[in-house]
Amino acid sequence: MPAAGAILSVSRNAYREAIRDRILFSLLFFAVLMVGAAVLFSQMSFGISADSLINFSLAAITLLGVIIAVFLGNQLVSKEIERRTLYTLLAHPVRRTHFLLGKFAGLVWTLVVNCGLMGVALFLALLYVLPAHVAAGEWSLLAALYFILLALAVLTAIALLFSCFASPVLAAVFTLALFVIGNFDDNLRALGESSRQWLGGHLAIWISYVLPNFGDFNVATAASHFMPIGWRLIGLNTLYALVYCGVALAIAGAIFENKDLK
Amino acid sequence: MVAIECQGLTKDFHVGFWRKRPVRALDALELEVAEGEIFGLLGHNGAGKTTTIKLLLRLIFPTSGTARILGRPLGAPDLAARIGYLPENPYFYDYLKCRELVEYYAELAGVPAGERRARAQEALARVGMAEAMEQPLRKCSKGMVQRVGLAQAIVHRPQLAILDEPMSGLDPAGRAEVRDLILELRQQGATVLFSTHILSDAEQICDRVAILKRGRLAFAGPLDAVAGREESEIEIVFRERAGGGLGLVRRETIAAAELWSRLEALRAKQAQIVSVNPARRRLEDLFRAEPAERAAGRGAGQGN
Ligand SMILES: Nc1ncnc2c1ncn2[C@@H]1O[C@H](COP(=O)(O)OP(=O)(O)OP(=O)(O)O)[C@@H](O)[C@H]1O
Ligand SMILES: [Mg+2]
């Protein structure tokens, strides 16, 4: 079976699995509820404006996306090994690397659908609360959603990498830890650059380059004030996410390609 | 042509957490399975049957040695589509319906989109799952899952079927159906390699067998050769009349030449004959584990 066909088949099935998992629906329900609550709150108090609604909603979308990426991503591979569903799959003309890519694509597509629906909910809420502002800020809001998706794709790739050799619980802990640290990546680099210790400083800088930089994907402040987001940043973030996912998946593939399935 | 050939296939597993020590699961296996035959892989629990099969499918990788399937080295790109595989104690995506699962595997095996549904239904009907096609796997019994596993192994009409304990978990009727299925596959030109630890299953359908013992090949060839049917002994199970009713079940092993005289004697006593079977002495001996292993290998050679 050609590579693209195998990857597509596996990803379609991964998406089907996520859809049939009721967890996904409850998360979505939760998200709609949160946006609804935000609208209610902004209606009740005069002080609350579009920016707090947007900030709050983007944070909610990110949080739910992270939950999906970490808790579905961390078992993408390990669950199939443990339950031995992988045996029959890999006996088919599907290369192990293609299996990984298919799983990755399936989960990213799940995240796209999920974030897309939540984004639509956010737009509707904004239209309802502050229709005048939407026209001005929709592009920066769209860019903010796109960046969230890029960050979630990177997170999924990391979860998948850990899933290749760690148990689901450990993989989830590692991935979450990296997500938290990755949000302070710039601080780490700044720390390294200002450090007087040569070794410690350089170590901090190197580590900051290896760790995923999630801070750059966070433009909630700009988006909530309807400030334009430049094409340069969009391009750079896209490139960064592509390269990071590529490297993480390549390492995962290299580990997984010659692994004994117990 | 040769369907499967193994040369010095060896597999060490490393056990222990800190100081890993190797455990040899398979030791320099030399094996040849001819195209179009039904080949049985026999051995007691832990003999290395599953290890051999997983090596052939590249689910695990050999410590040393090589193998070829259908004349191609393992992992050749066009090979997988020509093999059907049923794992031991299969487990499948339980969020799918039986038909969806078999269709998915047909898709992966490269069956054209237009044919998948019909082929999946045909394969499921073939294994006696016609009524339960739309049932989610979550709600399937063990035997039903086993049948679905067989269906996905044959849905793409493979040239070689590798089945790891295909009869396990099935009721007696199901076992017979699987035997028929295997015979039918051969009739259609396919080669079948299957593992079992139940002698009679192998005896009824295998052209040749290999017997593994603690990871080593103990015998390979036609079953008749090892069983030595000609001069073999015969096992009679019967119940004698005692005090108006039937007595306890008794089992005797006698030389084949004595069979008729012994049966005459039993008839004279109005005993009820339960069964008369070739005793397969030598095969049982080969099969039987040493006393120390016997606990682990209990049940080998018995059953139906
Ligand atoms: N993943 C593993 N790690 C360590 N040892 C293993 C592993 N898999 C198998 N073994 C060992 O290899 C040997 C052969 O196991 P295998 O599963 O091939 O036996 P089998 O013939 O299929 O037995 P059964 O009839 O019980 O299925 C056993 O001693 C087993 O303990
Ligand atoms: Mg086994």
Q: Which atom of ligand 1 is nearest to the CA of B215?
A: 14
- Which range among B4-13, B20-29, B196-205, B212-221 shows the weakest confidence by mean pLDDT? B196-205
- Tell me what pLDDT residue B288 has: 58
| Chain B 52-91, residues with CB within 8 Å of chain A CB atoms | 54, 57-61, 77-78, 80-81, 83, 85-87, 89-91
Cross-chain CB nearest to A6 (options B57, B108, B149): B108
Average pLDDT over residues B90-112: 94
Q: What's A140's DSSP letter? A: H
pLDDT in tens, A176-204: 999 998 888 878 888 878 877 778 788 88
pLDDT-derived band at B304 (thresholds 50, 70, 90) equals very low
Contact B87 A94 (CB under 8 A): no
Q: Does B193 touch chain A (CB under 8 A)?
A: no
In angstroms, rounded to a whole number, what is the distance separating the alpha carbons of residues B138 and B129? 15
Q: Which residue from A92, A65, A71, A96 is spatially nearest to A81, judged by alpha carbons?
A: A96
Average pLDDT over residues A150-173: 92
Q: Ligand 1: which of B10, B17, B50, B54 to mutate, most ligand atoms within 8 Å of CB?
A: B50
Starting from the CA of residue B51, give the closest ligand: 1
Average pLDDT over residues A81-104: 92
Compute, in angstroms, the gap from residue B170 CA to the centroid of ligand 1.
22
What are the residue ranges spanned by the domains of chain A?
A: 3-183+218-257
In angstroms, rounded to a whole number, what is the distance separating the alpha carbons of residues A90 and B47? 24
- Tell me what pLDDT residue B225 has: 67
Average pLDDT over residues B7-21: 87
In angstroms, rounded to a whole number, what is the distance separating the alpha carbons of residues A28 and B9? 52
Which pair of tokens denotes residue B181? 């299925």
What are the residue ranges spanned by the domains of chain B?
A: 1-70+159-228+282-304, 230-280
List CB contacts (< 8 A) between A89 and chain B: 105, 108
List CB contacts (< 8 A) between A21 and chain B: 95
- Which range among A146-155, B130-139, B275-284 shows the weakest confidence by mean pLDDT? B275-284
pLDDT-derived band at A88 (thresholds 50, 70, 90) equals very high
How far are the Cα atoms of A98, B8, B164, B183 from residue B42, in angstroms, in the given order? 35, 18, 11, 18
- Tell me what pLDDT residue A94 has: 93
Residue B295 pLDDT > 50: no
Instruction: Give the three-class secondary structure for A184.
Output: coil
- Tell me what pLDDT residue B95 has: 92
Q: Does A20 touch chain B (CB under 8 A)?
A: yes
Nearest CA to ligand 1 atom 26: B45
ipTM value, please give it.
0.86
B28 CB-contact burial (10 Å; exposed 0-12 / middle 13-18 / buried 19+)? middle
**Structural domain B1-70+159-228+282-304, CATH architecture:** 3-Layer(aba) Sandwich (3.40)
Q: Which fold would CATH assign to domain B230-280? A: Dna Ligase; domain 1 (3.30.1490)
Number of Cβ within a 10 Å radius of residue A180: 11
Ligand 1 neighbours by CB, cut-off 6 Å: A 262; B 13, 15, 23, 25, 43, 45-51, 88, 197
Compute, in angstroms, the gap from residue B181 CA to the centroid of ligand 1.
27
In angstroms, rounded to a whole number, what is the distance separating the alpha carbons of residues A180 and A215? 10
Q: Does A22 touch chain B (CB under 8 A)?
A: no
| Contact call for residues B196 and B167 (beta carbons, < 8 A) | yes
- Tell me what pLDDT residue A252 has: 95
Cross-chain CB nearest to B87 (options A13, A88, A258): A88
| Contact call for residues B281 and B232 (beta carbons, < 8 A) | yes
Give Cβ neighbours of residue A155 (< 8 Å, ≥ 6 apart).
Answer: A66, A69, A70, A73, A175, A178, A179, A212, A214
Cross-chain CB nearest to A13 (options B57, B87, B104): B104
Cross-chain CB nearest to B108 (options A9, A21, A84): A9
pLDDT in tens, B29-83: 999 999 999 999 998 889 999 999 999 999 999 999 999 999 999 988 889 999 9
Q: Tell me how far the alpha carbon of residue B5 is from its chain's centroid.
A: 18
| Chain A 83-102, residues with CB within 8 Å of chain B CB atoms | 83-85, 87-94
- Tell me what pLDDT residue A255 has: 92
Compute, in angstroms, the gap from residue A109 CA to the centroid of ligand 2.
38
| Contact call for residues B48 and B84 (beta carbons, < 8 A) | no
More confident residue, A186 or A10: A10
In angstroms, rounded to a whole number, what is the distance separating the alpha carbons of residues B39 and B193? 5
- Which range among A193-202, B145-154, B190-199 shows the weakest confidence by mean pLDDT? A193-202
Q: Which of A20, A72, A88, A89 to mutate to test the interface with B (most CBs of B within 10 A)?
A: A88
Q: Which residue from B128, B63, B138, B152 is spatially nearest to B95, judged by alpha carbons?
A: B138
Contact B152 A88 (CB under 8 A): yes
pLDDT in tens, B214-254: 999 988 888 776 655 555 678 899 888 877 777 888 888 88
List CB contacts (< 8 A) between A16 and chain B: 95-96
Q: Which atom of ligand 1 is nearest to the CA of B51?
A: 18
List CB contacts (< 8 A) between B86 and chain A: 88
Cross-chain CB nearest to B81 (options A9, A20, A93): A93
In angstroms, rounded to a whole number, what is the distance separating the alpha carbons of residues A88 and B89? 12
Starting from the CA of residue B21, give the closest ligand: 1
Q: Quickly tell me which residue has 């699962």 as its tokens.
A: B101
Looking at the whole model, is its pTM more than 0.90?
A: no
Strands B191-196 and B38-42: parallel
Compute, in angstroms, the gap from residue A156 CA to the centroid of ligand 2.
35
